[in-house]
Chain A
């Protein structure tokens, strides 16, 4: 092999390794779940409190630029994301889930569903999120005990009169919990201050 060819090969391979390792370490490698990263983990919900701050490391900044552009710093809002249900299975359109929300340590909150491209799912159901201003219970029952709000996550509107987040057209998805004007206690000790929403899988189309 000629000298020029060896150096040319080294150059190309080095560039590929450099870009590939950057994408991997920043959680941007195709197929990776970028929002499964973060420095805070509370019962399946992950957050990156460095988002929006100058203290964010360059890998966090690259990831946020791609998947959370124009996000606010933690004093204004914190964002928790989960990609799995309470039993650890990936959230997917084929399944029906019950989302149970307890009292949140913030002035206002919402839970929104995003597809694998970090976009709102392409449907016209007008059921993209639930938030603190909605009715406490459209129809309370015994499963709602201990919650300030419950909702069904499903590709079709539930027959009973329940709050609904539509997963139609979402494929594999994630949920983002936004907490605006968070309490100081949450920023100081999220593990103690936050009882995050639970996501219980009720059934799946492809399961008997």
Chain B
């Protein structure tokens, strides 16, 4: 029996370590895959990509709503080894509900701005940016992530109008 004590201890330690590791890394791995999928589907980096209306055939993300206009911008502030770059994001005017939300590389929604009826510009830096960088409205906990605009547009006509409004949206990385 004593010759099994070591293996049993190893089993318990391995189970606990694997459980913790799988739990800890799952959101990051899932987000990593999602970013790769979005890239493969033509979602630009540092620019909003004008979307197709969400349909069963065009859905790229689980539980997307067919009643909303989604516009995505991938960001990676580590480009060229620099972490002091920032992102300037502008959301255009839209008379109905619209929001600008920020998700980090671990899927956390770390900031959301609601801007129904007006346009807004915000600056986002990464938490790894050097102290003394220009003041920012938003701080991303990670270097990579996604910015998402949602506009209420439950009909094809409203979707087309939301698409026209998106001409005023921008998502630009700026390097000092």
How many chain B residues touch A (Cβ–Cβ < 8 Å)? 54
B154 touches A131 (CB 8 A): yes
Given contacts A9-B7, A120-B54, A131-B154, whether A76 and B23 have CB atoms under 8 Å apart is no
Distance to closest chain B CB from A168 (angstroms): 10
The A113-130 residues at the B interface (CB cut-off 8 A) are: 114, 117-124, 128-129
A70 touches B146 (CB 8 A): yes
Which of B75-83, B87-95, B97-105, B165-173 contacts its partner?
B97-105
Q: Which of A58, A67, A108, A134 meets B24, CB within 8 Å?
A: A58
Most chain A CB within 10 A, of B8, B97, B107, is at: B107
Given contacts A11-B14, A14-B13, A18-B18, whether A120 and B64 have CB atoms under 8 Å apart is yes
Distance to closest chain B CB from A18 (angstroms): 3
Q: Determine the chain A residues whose CB is within 8 A of the CB of B109 once the complex forms.
A: 52-53, 70-73
* Docked pose: A128 CA to B23 CA in angstroms: 33
- A178 contacts the other chain (Cβ, under 8 Å)? yes
Q: Determine the chain B residues whose CB is within 8 A of the CB of A120 once the complex forms.
A: 54-56, 59, 64, 66
A108 touches B19 (CB 8 A): no
- A171 contacts the other chain (Cβ, under 8 Å)? no
- B41 contacts the other chain (Cβ, under 8 Å)? no
Q: Determine the chain A residues whose CB is within 8 A of the CB of B21 once the complex forms.
A: 18
Q: Determine the chain A residues whose CB is within 8 A of the CB of B150 once the complex forms.
A: 72
Q: Determine the chain B residues whose CB is within 8 A of the CB of A124 once the complex forms.
A: 56-57
Most chain A CB within 10 A, of B18, B97, B110, is at: B18
Distance to closest chain A CB from B62 (angstroms): 4
Cβ-closest 7 pairs across A and B? A18-B18, A14-B14, A10-B7, A52-B109, A18-B19, A118-B62, A10-B11
